[in-house]
Each structure stands twice: as structure tokens, then as C-alpha cells.
A = this chain, B = another copy of it.
């Protein structure tokens, strides 16, 4: 599969749409619409007692307080995935982590959206040096690890579900 051409047909503040032409191994050529995305990170952070989640409004799916793990877009030039994850963890829940491990890279909606999410496990938590961002619409939710099954039942965000289920496997293996 080879990308032959790419043309931006819409460019908003965040959303960008491209029309791209691809040639496949059988020689055929087809045009595809692609919604551009810089990629994102998401962080499964726990201190042995709780996994730290957030609730926030998610307008595209009309949810006023969707439960998710901390996450953010790779939108700072030159910042690595890990640095972005460290910044987001501090901004969203006011924590730093001494231990970081990559759990998974996943595509949220690979038929239309360029986004790739890198999921990190963050442990050995402490208070971050800087204050968290003052976002009145983001609520920090420490979810007790012994209720992780409830968190998985309640959660409807794909990256968070994958992260919580991978964490559950880790907890079982370590128990």
C-alpha cells in the first residue's frame, strides 16, 4: 500500500480533513478521506490504592461528564510521547510518577481517523511540582483499585477501557 497524493480539503482549529490517493498491492488506486490527528497519550496512573481518572464534558458524544483516564494530544512541537504524558498527568491530576512504562499503542478509529494513542502505566506517584491546570469542567476521580471492575463497567471511553483492562491484568498477575 502506497500513498500517492494528499490534499488538505478542510482545516479547522483542531480538525483537518485530507483527501488521499492510495495504490494497493493489486495495482488498483482509490481515494480515501482521512481526518488528520497529531496523536495522543493516555495515562493509567495508580498508587496501589486508586487509579486516578477524570470526568469531563465530551461535546462530540454529548456526554457532560465522561469518565476517562488522563490524556492529551501530542500538540507541543518537539515534545516526546513520554514528556507529553508527564505534562498531562501534572496538568490534569496534579501528580508526578517515578515509574513509567508503555502499555500499548492503539488506533481509536482507524477507518477514518489518523489518531494513534500511546497508553502509559504510571506508578510511584507524588505531588507534581506545579499546580494542576485550573479547569472547572474537569473533575479528578480517584477510583479504588478494588472496584476496578466497576470502573470498567462504567467506562465508555475506548482508550481508557483498554488501559483499565490492561491494568486489571497487571494487578491479577501481581496479586
Contacts and interface: CB of A to CB of B under 8 A. Distances in A.
Interface of A: 1, 3, 9-10, 12-15, 17, 19-20, 22, 24-26, 32-35, 37, 57-64, 66, 68, 73, 104-117, 136-137, 156-159, 161-162, 165
A61 B156 contact: no
B137 A107 contact: no
A105 B61 CA distance: 12
A65 to B, nearest CB: 8
A137 B32 CA distance: 14
A112 B57 contact: no
B60 A32 contact: yes
A62 to B, nearest CB: 7
A113 B105 contact: no
18 contacts: A1-B57, A1-B64, A3-B62, A9-B10, A10-B10, A10-B15, A17-B17, A24-B137, A26-B137, A35-B60, A58-B110, A60-B111, A60-B112, A61-B107, A68-B110, A105-B156, A108-B109, A162-B162
Task: Pick the most buried of A15, A20, A22: most chain B CB atoms within 10 A of its CB.
Answer: A15
* Residue picked from A37, A57, A111, A116, most chain B C-beta under 10 Å: A111
